[in-house]
Chains A and B, each alone.
Chain A
Amino acid sequence: MTQKNERHLSSALRAMVERERHRSVAPMATDRIVRLARGHGLVGQERTDPFVEGILGWARPVVAICLTILVLLVAYNVRLSNELPGMDTPTARVLGLPSATVALAFDPDFEEH
């Protein structure tokens, strides 16, 4: 095939494919693709800085451990409080302090204990 023939064929094929493309691809294709990507959660959510991501990665387990300890301490306190009568608190018990009641607070001899 000569170069001239090839040029004719090339431009004819190009024009044909262009017409076929307009019939086959619906309008606003870019918008539809971007919307689809957004629907898949691929775009629209900016990722944070890697440094921040690193810090957050370390912070998360620390926060989880602290929360667990806090919950255990609260549970321990509640359990001890149920076991002790009156206004005794776990702290008072640990320190060996005598039971304090409202009546004792007005007792003039209380401080002698």
Chain B
Amino acid sequence: MASAAVIAPVRTAALRAVGAQRGSVAAERAGSRDDSALVEQVVRGDEHAFRRIVDGHIDAVSRTVTGLLGPSAEVDDVVQDVFIKLHANLATFRGDATLRTFVTRMAINRSLDVLRQRKRRRWMQSWGLGSELDAAGAVAPAHTPLEQQDLDERLRKALDTLPEKQRTVVVLRLVEGLSTEETAQVLDIKYGTVLSRLKRATDQLRAVLSANGTLEMLEDK
């Protein structure tokens, strides 16, 4: 009985995944065809085609990078790097995945590099080898009500407590709104791994946000 209760939600999730996968295959193929045509033009040196790609993906890329790095001047540089690197790697784009998957994967990899650099800088600073930690990371102060700023800071702190892998899943699933299937494809991990990381991450976020009363604030809003 108990095992049936455990298996039922898993089976439902799996069936939903298969359905979503079938439904999105046709749209994905059409998207891939468009992407391939656009990519071909960019590889030939067409500036307008490159502008279209940047225009079409810059919001998603900058959201993903900001989600992982937080408010920082580094975000702007990373976003630029991602698109320049994307251009350099477009020749290797075979159209197996959508361009969105391709570019999101690059944005995540680049952001994780920056997070590792930050860790190294912090380590060096703790040994007195580095100076002015994150001096380049300062951004203009927020022009939002104090209450909003306070909420944002609490949410950011909670998000930053998550390990990189869980934070990446949260950013893709909850912030970027990708499906579990798409998240698994971007991160090149199993469907079940996405679900388990998301579960652990949301549990951790709930614990941190409940402890300082933020969760109640969110529910009241």
Contacts and interface: CB of A to CB of B under 8 A. Distances in A.
Interface stretch (B22-30, B72-80, B116-124): B72-80
A34 B72 contact: no
B202 A1 contact: yes
Given A23-B140, A25-B79, A13 B206 contact: no
A38 B50 CA distance: 10
Nearest to A40: B84
Interface in B152-193: 152, 155-156, 159, 170-171, 174-175, 177
Contact of B152 (A19, A24, A40, A42): A19
A8 B62 contact: no
Contact of B75 (A24, A33, A45): A24
B67 to A, nearest CB: 5
Nearest to A1: B202
A9 B215 CA distance: 8
Nearest to B152: A16
A32 B54 CA distance: 11
Interface residues of B, number: 50
| Secondary structure type dominating chain B contacts | helix
Contacts of A33: 54, 58, 79-80, 83-84
Nearest to B206: A1
Band of interface residues on A: 20 to 34
Contact of A30 (B51, B66, B205, B206): B51
Contact of B215 (A5, A16, A18, A34): A5
A43 interface: yes
Contacts of B206: 1, 5, 9
B147 interface: no
B152 A29 contact: no
A38 B51 contact: no
Interface string A7-29: 01110111011111101111001
Contact of A18 (B63, B170, B171): B63
Interface of B: 42, 44-47, 50-51, 54-55, 58, 62-63, 66-67, 70-73, 75-76, 79-80, 83-84, 87-88, 139-140, 142, 144, 148, 151-152, 155-156, 159, 170-171, 174-175, 177, 202-203, 205-206, 209, 215, 218-219, 221
18 contacts: A5-B206, A12-B218, A16-B155, A17-B175, A20-B66, A20-B152, A21-B62, A21-B66, A24-B62, A24-B73, A30-B54, A32-B80, A33-B79, A37-B50, A37-B83, A42-B45, A44-B47, A46-B46
